Amino acid sequence: MTVMIQGSQVRDIALGRPASKATGAISGNPTTPLFTIAGGEVMITSVYGLVTTALTNATGTYALQQNPTAGDTTTLVTATALGATDVSVGSTLGLTHGTTVAPAFLGGGQVRLDTVVTTGQIEFVGALSADGAITFNVTWIPLTDGATLVAA
């Protein structure tokens, strides 16, 4: 049987272009640039994290924010404590969707974000002695001709 369209092409059509960035070792209360947006607005269609070093501090919180070149810093994923037990290597961090606040992280949760961001950076924010390491994966669509999103 001939394959007419590849899996990567289906993903690009359904979700947009992929980008990936590792936080590196998380210790304490870091703010780490993950992605840089240039040239205008893009829509982040999905985001999830893959735990690459176990998250062992139950009181630590993990969040994502947009820090635009002009305008206010906004929360994309609410600061979330991930529970009373460790989060193991290989676990995924998806999203839970609230109706009045930004989504929170949820082990194995949804990945759709569908939010518009503009020129600037998407940052990981750890607090309350967050630890471990996470690789974040996003898909995105340019809304402004020439707009880009790349790993910072």
Per-residue pLDDT of the chain (152 residues; tens, 9 = 90+): 677 778 778 877 888 999 999 999 998 899 999 999 999 999 999 999 999 999 998 788 999 999 999 999 999 999 998 877 889 999 999 998 766 678 888 888 888 888 999 999 999 999 988 899 999 999 999 999 999 999 99
- Contact between 124 and 91 under an 8 Å Cβ cutoff? The reply is no
DSSP codes of every residue in 11-48: HHHHT-EEEEEE--SEEES-EEEEEEEESS-EEEEEEE
Structural domain includes residue 100: yes
- Does the residue 48 lie in any domain? yes
> How many domains would you assign to the chain?
1
Interstrand relation of 74-81 and 112-117 (parallel, antiparallel or unpaired): unpaired
In a domain, 2, yes or no: no
Residue 1 falls inside a structural domain? no
Among 68, 63, 50, which residue's Cα sits nearest to residue 105?
Answer: 63
Q: Residue 13: inside a domain, yes or no?
A: yes
Instruction: Please check whether residue 117 lies inside any domain of the structure.
Output: yes
* Domain range enclosing 107: 7-151
Whole-structure pTM value: 0.88
For tokens 């606040």, the residue is: 101
